[in-house]
Structure 1
Amino acid sequence: MRTVPPSPEDDPGTRAGVVLALRALGLGDALTGVPALRGLRRAFPGAHLVLAGPSGPGGLLRRRGVVDDVLPVDGVAAIAEDAVVAAAHEHPAVLPPGWPVVAAVNLHGRGPQSALALRGLLDERGADGARLLGHACPAAGLDGPAWSDDVAEVERWASLVRATTGAPCGPEDLRLDAAAWPTPLAPERTAPGPAEAARPGRTVVLHPGAASGSRRWPASCWTALAAALVAGGRDVVLTGSAAEADVTAEVAVRARAVVARSGPTSCVVVDTAGRCDLEQLAGLLAGARALVCGDTGVAHLATALATPSVLLFGPTSPAAWGPAVDHHLHPVLWPAPSAAYRGDPHGAAVDPVLARTTVDDVLGALAALPARRAA
């Protein structure tokens, strides 16, 4: 249930106003911004903290108490300068008319579009002395810390909040409570045999998808990995969006065929692509033995839940987007020729560095993970 702002007449939190943070990006971006959001909570303890961003990731953070409400804004491709004001008009229950915005915080980018979008909100809804916080952006009249490309994503936004508010925050704030998530497994998209549930604690979650081809490990590798895990006594659950269901279905069918040729087994390969919402995905990860995925949002969810993971990087250095805490739980496979290597993160073909990672590499990294629970 959404947190409803209290009455301005009788609640001291209301008198402290609204703090709105813009981060209108995807799941991984939302999760890497959690330390900054928690810093804002500490900097403005009486304020109503609103995240302007997509309702899916934002809703997950709202239900976990990271923010009080979500103003639906989608800026994954680009953000319009009137996007925040338009969303405020469209969703008056989130920012009721007359409620003062005391701070607008740009956790979205360096500007100018994102900074101007927040400047527009303050022009219309800002309290006296309202603050626009973000990296320096002269086009929006924003004086803040200089942007640097050479900083990890988590630290980029946490350091911004520390510098502009003085509130403490850092990588240790990434974690979400792993308890009490919804039932994780949904029915399979196709059911070639008896529907069997994977068993928590002995399940390895495989997430083959990524936003671009250059960050997707080949389907043949995922198939071989799934079959090897089942042969080793693990259940396998494949996850992905509805748009990735064809890939997960291919991996599931081929892996089951390999397993069937090896003889009877009690282990299963379950395909949940397009059938798990973010809460169910989190529930699945919270109980899993481990996750294997590429450089994508699910990796950050595993970090937040302290679920062991093996991360397959290619065009992008893990220095920017790799795990910021619990490095012993999240080994990164990145066989780049040097630390300076950079590929095309938006390319159509698999990155050559990612292609060098083998199934045996992944199996070895999984075997070396610290024990989480009895399998």
Structure 2
Amino acid sequence: MTRRVLVVRLDGAGDVLLAGPAVRAVAAAPGAEVTLLCGPDGAAAGRLLPGVRWVLVWASPWIVAPAPPVTAADVDDIVARLAAHAFDEAVVLTSFHQSPLPTALLLRLAGIPRITGASVDYPGSLLDVRLRPGEDLPEDIPEPERALRIAAAAGFELPAGDDGGLAVQPPPEPGSLLEPLPGRPYVVLHPGAAVPARRWPAEHHRRAVRLLARAGIPAVVTGGPGERELTAAVAGDEGLDLGGRTDLAQLAGVLAGASAVVVGNTGAAHLAAAVGTPVVSLFAPVVPAVRWRPHRVPHVLLGDQDAPCRGSRARICPVPGHPCLARITPEQVVEAVCRLVAAPVAAKEGSS
């Protein structure tokens, strides 16, 4: 008998990828058919997750930035769309600073009879299974483990042999994208991020490309369609510029073939972890590294985690000069790359 389960993660690509282990736990239940409800920026990532049968997309006015307006027509539409699927239950995945209750209200209106979520606030009749953060749910744990605990509270566990790491469907081969580098090992630099506070300066990326070229390591620079000017400036004449030339699945293929990836705390870091590629993580402490650092993949964490901006969740760095990231030198990044490329198994999770 089919058990229709809705998993909700309304954020962007990175957060959806981090929800992957929880999605697999739900999908492993007998008869489970998983639908993922996510935001527009998370849809492509959702379609890459093993265990997802259907993806529904909705721009939530309490998640998406800039926020869409709240209208009765939009609320009626999403409630009707959800009701049409006749879900048996829902699992609402949230980060520590988010409430599941607005989502749960919509799910109740859609007639979903059993809803699980983690809520500090009194949930009333909105949640059937409630985890209390700080009591039932530790706060300083990686996001994938937080999501797994929410799923477990609903009765969903990973199957035997699943280690709980990030994963995506097998990506396509890069093919002609990497024609200029036939068979050569390469390093990916991904300079962009949706949140400015998480970006390492572009000029630092540019110098890192030059230093890698001098070391005989080809650099591939990636980014979205809106980042072509940035990736072209970073790649210069020494790097291969793939800015705007890959969708998310193709980017996964490029990352999977790389020896290492240099990236901030953004979706590409979690995509690299999902394909098992070591990461040099340029991590601004505006959110805690313990929750969002690359998960279960060799990595080197760079960035002052005790900087004044720590825990601020700032989108724009509140400290003049952006010192937590700007003080990381290109030489430090290239040294970290060489460590990972030379001995990836020695760079254990938690290295810095």
TM-score, structure 2 normalization? 0.81
Which letter does structure 1 place at the counterpart of 2:296? V
Contact 1:72-1:87 at 8 Å conserved across structures: no
Post-superposition offset of 1:341: 3.9
* Letter in structure 1 aligned against 2:20: V
Aligned-partner SS, 2:163: helix
- Work out whether 1:295 is the aligned partner of 2:265: yes
Q: 1:115 aligns with which of 81, 104, 107?
A: 104
Cα offsets for 1:333-374 (capped at 9, x unmatched): 12334799435531156632112211111111111115589x
SS at match of 1:365: helix
Counterpart in the other structure of 1:150? 140
Report the CA distance between 1:223 and its aligned residue. 0.7
Counterpart-to-counterpart distance in 2, 1:140 and 1:146? 13
Correspondent of 1:342 among 311, 320, 335:
311
Q: Secondary structure at the match of 2:108?
A: helix
How is 1:100-249 mapped onto 2 (pairs within 5 angstroms)? 100-108=86-94, 109-122=98-111, 126=112, 130-136=113-119, 137-139=121-123, 141=125, 142=127, 143-148=129-134, 149-165=139-155, 167-168=157-158, 172-176=163-167, 179-183=170-174, 186=177, 197-199=180-182, 202-249=185-232
For residues 118 and 368 of structure 1, what CA distance do their matches in structure 2 show?
Answer: 48
1:307 aligns with 2:277: yes
User: Residue 335 of structure 2 corresponds to which residue in structure 1?
Assistant: 364
Count of equivalent residues: 324
Aligned residue among 27, 30, 39 for 2:25: 39
- 3-state DSSP of counterpart to 1:68: strand
Q: Larger Rg: 1 or 2? A: 1
1:280 aligned partner? 250
CA contact (8 A) 1:203 1:234 kept: yes
| Paired AA for residue 101 in structure 1 | F
- Counterpart of 2:15 in structure 1 is 29
Aligned residues: CA RMSD = 3.1
Deviation at 1:179, TM superposition (A): 4.3
Cα-to-partner distance string for 1:28-69 (whole Å, 9 max, x where unaligned): 101110111111113x33122100114664444435532011
**Identity percentage over the alignment?**
32
Q: In structure 1, give the amino acid aligned to 2:141.
A: V
Q: Which runs of 5+ in 1 are unaligned?
A: 1-11, 188-195, 257-267
Is 1:214–1:344's contact at 8 Å kept on the other side of the alignment?
A: no
Q: Which sections of structure 2, spanning at least 5 residues, go unmatched?
A: 345-352
